A and B are shown apart, each in its own frame.
Chain A
């Protein structure tokens, strides 16, 4: 059993290195081949505003969490880590939704279809991991909540992109 665990650890490390190098490969390849895949000046400004909104939303959440924590509620004590993670997810979600609304989330020339597929994949992987975690893992520890929060964030971003695309599609010269 011990040997089996060691083999699993080696495979896990190898997989992590593989993913890391693949990630590096895709990042560098994109920079070389697609010089236009950047944000324009309006998008950069809009992203700045969205980041500010996301940051202050997260700060407000943590202020709320700090106050609630003083009541020593059992729920808060048990899932303390997940409440903190939820704050990060909340701030990220606010940033993403505002950036998407102002058409500043995706870079210029980004293929929306590909982005949507990636978001669907992330959602499905997180939901599947969450279910496996809940069924076979320690459900009481709430480890599946991490996956659930990630899946929720993906769904929110996915929905925001879809709504935004629907809003602008078929209306090439909108609001003229």
Chain B
């Protein structure tokens, strides 16, 4: 399931995948995999992403029943 919220939050901050990856200390492919829904990050990485993008966990990762993260 694609995480379009993360992608839009990153775009709103005008950050590339590489820049966000450098901030949270992971590889660019990891950010790409999260956005594409190919990898489920740990809570530690989720929190790092939230801090980097000034968002809450709910805003980036909460999933309503039967809805996509968008």
Q: Measuring CB to CB, which residues of chain A are less than 8 angstroms from any residue of chain B?
A: 36, 40-43, 45, 103, 108, 168, 172-176
Q: Which residues of chain B from 1 to 57 have any CB-CB distance to chain A below 8 Å in the complex? A: 7, 16-18, 25-30, 32-33, 35-36, 39, 41-42, 44-45
Distance (whole angstroms) from the CB of A165 to the closest CB of chain B: 12
Q: Measuring CB to CB, which residues of chain B are less than 8 angstroms from any residue of chain A?
A: 7, 16-18, 25-30, 32-33, 35-36, 39, 41-42, 44-45
Known contacts: A168-B29, A175-B32. The answer to whether A41 contacts B41 by CB under 8 A is yes
User: Chain B contact residues: over half helix, strand or loop, or mixed?
Assistant: helix
Are the CB atoms of B17 and A172 closer together than 8 Å? yes
With a cutoff of 8 Å between Cβ atoms, the chain B residues found around residue A36 in the complex are 25
With a cutoff of 8 Å between Cβ atoms, the chain B residues found around residue A173 in the complex are 16-17, 32
A42 CA to B29 CA, complexed, in Å: 9
Q: Nearest B residue to A103 by beta-carbon distance?
A: B29
A103 CA to B36 CA, complexed, in Å: 15
With a cutoff of 8 Å between Cβ atoms, the chain B residues found around residue A41 in the complex are 26, 30, 41-42, 44-45
